[in-house]
């Protein structure tokens, strides 16, 4: 029955059916043949609506849409360039940091490429970086911030993991903390590689100017406190995650509409509509997927999957290698929200049986999905970059491969050194 349902899922997905309809059809079919009342689906939708942390999802999404519509990206580039432009490979480092921060708040890799690419790609070329390097940097940097708070995928993973009732505490706060060092590792390795690969190029350094730095700080003075609401507020215990989301959303709204005046009141209606349509889609898929998760649990699918894995894979090390390969392929084929919703309920119980911490699993999952965004042949960022910069897709492939190899090294370190993710929460 389970194999048949999975086959149906894949078939209808290939035919282009909406994801939520595929999941709900598979779940209801399973419940029907299992003689379970179909009202369980309505119960699951209600259960997800009763989750307090869920409030953070629409609030952070709205915040990201506001920031994407304003000139925040330009101010971020000026600020980081003024502070770090004097370093060897300074502009490349600026690009990594800016893209990571922008993706963390907007929650969308493609938005970062479109918004930041228009600024960074010409700036990198003008500064003397090769076209191939600049193209690869902007394409791969679009997903760098998925491990940094308040990343929506981190929140979504936490919500699903909590609903699974694994017996271990999986708080959003712990996931936020766990993602910081792995994200820094990725940025650091990419920065070191960028400095090394451009060591023979005549890329001029930007001399540090205190006046320019102060001017950039003054220009961004209202946006610099943004991370404080998330980092300090949550980790000090002053705010819960949902409260931090509310404060951040209100602050951004006031700053962008009434202080910078870059967004007109008339625009808010369309911004709210666009952001909530996205949230509505996520919530609908999330609700029906929890119903499908219940069916999988009733059918003992995770345990059967674990038994199969244990038959062929007895080592935790080998399981992690296979998990990385599978997630890279998954990330190239599915968007991150769909992948989390569909695969976490299956993978989490199996990973727990191998002794993998659920928080560490979340970081491994997102780190791999981050690379999957630009894994050939069908990574979403590859096509977005090709369209945005009007480049052949083969050229995009070649440009991203060196960056992908560096990030694969980072993923291996993150996977096999759990300490990196768990040191601050254990």
Q: How far apart are CA 253 and CA 259, in angstroms?
A: 9
**Whole-number pLDDT of residue 363:** 94
3-state helix, strand, coil in the chain (%, to 5): 80, 0, 20
In a domain, 12, yes or no: no
Cis check: omega of the bond before 67, within 30 degrees of 0: no
- Which tokens is 230 given? 């998330």
Report helix, strand or coil for 292. helix
Q: Would you say residue 27 lies in a domain?
A: no
User: What is the reported pLDDT for 415?
Assistant: 94
Angle (CA) 341 60 43, round 5° = 45
Examine residue 377 and say whether the peptide bond preceding it is cis (omega within 30 degrees of 0): yes
- The pLDDT profile of the chain, 426 residues, written as one tens digit per residue, is 556 666 666 677 667 677 677 777 777 777 777 777 777 777 767 766 666 667 777 888 888 888 878 888 778 778 877 877 777 777 788 888 888 888 887 766 566 776 677 677 887 787 778 888 888 888 888 778 888 888 888 888 988 888 776 667 788 888 988 999 999 999 999 999 988 888 776 666 667 788 888 888 888 889 888 877 677 777 676 777 788 888 888 998 999 999 988 888 888 889 889 888 878 877 777 777 777 766 776 666 666 666 777 677 778 888 888 888 888 887 777 777 778 877 888 888 888 888 899 999 999 999 998 888 787 766 777 877 887 788 888 888 888 899 999 999 999 999 999 999 999 886
Give the model's pLDDT for residue 182. Answer: 94
**What are the two backbone dihedrals, phi and then psi, of residue 34, each rounded to the nearest 5 degrees?**
-90, 5
Residue 278 lies in a domain: yes
Q: Is residue 16 part of a domain?
A: no
Distance CA 288, CA 300 (A): 18
User: Does some domain include residue 215?
Assistant: yes
Find the domain containing 265 and state its range.
Answer: 39-422
- Residue 99 to residue 103: CA distance in whole angstroms: 6
Residues 6 or more apart whose Cβ sits within 8 Å of residue 153? 107, 146, 336, 337, 340, 366, 369
Instruction: Report the 10 Å Cβ neighbour count for 311.
Output: 8
d(CA 188, CA 180): 12
Question: How many residues are given for the chain?
Answer: 426
Residue given tokens 């945005």 in the structure block: 388
The C-alpha atoms of residue 186 and residue 144 are separated, in whole angstroms, by 8
Residue 234 lies in a domain: yes
Q: What one-character-per-residue DSSP string does 34-61 give?
A: TT--TTHHHHHHHHHHT-GGGGHHHHHH
Give Cα 47 to chain centroid, integer Å: 25
Closest CA relative to residue 379, chosen from 174, 109, 187, 150 = 109
Q: How far apart are CA 17 and CA 106, in angstroms?
A: 27
**CB burial of residue 131 (10 Å; 0-12, 13-18, 19+):** middle
Number of domains in the chain: 1
Residue reference for tokens 């491994």: 364
Residue 80 lies in a domain: yes
- The terminus-to-terminus CA distance of the chain in angstroms comes to 41
Q: How far apart are CA 152 and CA 59, in angstroms?
A: 10
Residue 402 lies in a domain: yes
Q: pTM for this one?
A: 0.78
What sign results for the dihedral spanned by CA atoms 236, 237, 239, 241? positive
């Amino acid at each position: 029955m389970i194999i048949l349902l999975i086959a149906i899922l894949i078939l209808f997905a290939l035919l282009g059916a909406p994801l939520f309809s595929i999941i709900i059809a598979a779940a209801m079919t399973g419940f029907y043949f299992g003689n379970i009342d179909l009202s369980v689906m309505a119960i699951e939708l209600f259960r997800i609506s009763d989750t307090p942390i869920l409030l953070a999802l629409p609030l952070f999404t709205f915040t990201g849409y506001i920031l994407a519509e304003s000139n925040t990206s330009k101010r971020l580039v000026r600020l980081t360039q003024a502070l770090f432009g004097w370093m060897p490979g300074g502009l490349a480092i600026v690009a990594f940091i800016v893209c990571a921060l922008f993706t963390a708040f907007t929650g969308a890799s493609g938005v970062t490429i479109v918004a930041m690419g228009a600024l960074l790609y010409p700036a990198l070329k003008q500064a003397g970086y090769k076209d191939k390097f600049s193209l690869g940097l902007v394409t791969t940097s679009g997903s760098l911030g998925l491990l940094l708070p308040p990343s929506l995928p981190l929140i979504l993973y936490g919500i699903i993991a909590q609903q699974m009732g694994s017996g271990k505490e999986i708080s959003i706060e712990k996931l936020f903390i766990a993602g910081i060092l792995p994200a820094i590792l990725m940025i650091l390795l990419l920065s070191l590689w960028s400095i090394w690969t451009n060591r023979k190029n005549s890329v001029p350094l930007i001399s540090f100017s205190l006046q320019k730095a102060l001017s950039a700080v003054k220009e961004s003075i209202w946006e610099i406190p943004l991370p404080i609401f998330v980092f300090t507020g949550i980790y000090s215990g002053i705010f819960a995650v949902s409260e931090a989301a509310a404060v951040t959303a209100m602050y951004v709204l006031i700053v962008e509409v009434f202080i910078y005046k870059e967004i007109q009141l008339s625009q808010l209606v369309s911004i709210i509509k666009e952001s909530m349509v996205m949230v509505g889609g996520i919530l609908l898929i999330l609700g029906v997927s929890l119903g499908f998760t219940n069916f999988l649990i009733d059918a003992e699918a995770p345990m059967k999957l674990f038994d199969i894995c244990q038959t062929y894979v007895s080592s935790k090390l080998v399981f992690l290698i296979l998990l990385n390969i599978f997630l890279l392929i998954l990330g190239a084929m599915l968007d991150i929200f769909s992948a989390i919703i569909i695969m976490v309920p299956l993978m989490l119980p199996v990973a727990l049986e191998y002794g993998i911490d659920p928080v560490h699993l979340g970081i491994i999952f997102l780190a791999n999905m981050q690379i999957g965004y630009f894994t050939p042949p069908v990574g979403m960022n590859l096509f977005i970059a090709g369209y945005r910069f009007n480049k052949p897709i083969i050229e995009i492939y070649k440009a991203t491969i060196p960056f992908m190899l560096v990030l694969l090294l980072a993923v291996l370190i993150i996977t096999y050194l759990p300490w990196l993710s768990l040191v601050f929460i254990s």
